[in-house]
Amino acid sequence: MNKTKDYYMALDYSIQIQRVAEGYCASISLLKGCKTFGETAENALSELEAVKEGFIDVYLEMGRPIPEPVVQLDIPYSVFQQLENRDKLESFVVG
C-alpha cells in the first residue's frame, strides 16, 4: 500500500510539551527533529502541525520510511484468550 501525506497527517502521534528557558517546546518524539518552540504552550502546539507536515513532505520526497505510532499492550495470554474479538487481533500477537 502506497501511503500518502494525508494518511500520515491523520495518524495520532503522541505529542510532548516541555517548559524550556525560551518558553515551551512541543515535539513528536517518534518523528526525530519534529519540534517547535513558543512563548506559550499554545503557540508551540499551533506551529507543530505545520512542522509535522513539512517533515512528512521531506520524508516522502526522499523515499524515507516514516515511523507510525503503535500501541503495545502487555497482558497475560490467558486474558487475551478471553477477548471476544481475539481472532481479529491474533495476527498482532508477538512472542
CB burial class (10 A; 0-12, 13-18, 19+) of residue 66?
A: middle
Alpha carbons 31 and 90: distance in angstroms, whole number:
28
Does residue 59 sit within a domain?
yes
Question: Does residue 77 form part of some domain?
Answer: no
Q: How many domains does the chain have?
A: 1
Q: Quick one: pLDDT band at residue 70, thresholds 50, 70, 90?
A: confident
Does residue 82 sit within a domain?
no
| CATH assignment of the domain containing 21 | 3.30.160.250
The pTM of this model reads: 0.71
What pLDDT shows up at residue 1? 67
Instruction: Convert the pLDDT of each residue in 4-60 to its tens digit.
Output: 999 999 999 999 999 999 899 999 999 999 999 999 999 999 999 999 999 999 999
Q: Is residue 81 included in any domain, yes or no?
A: no
Identify the domain containing residue 27 by its residue range. 5-70
Residue 49 belongs to some domain of the structure: yes
Residue 83 lies in a domain: no
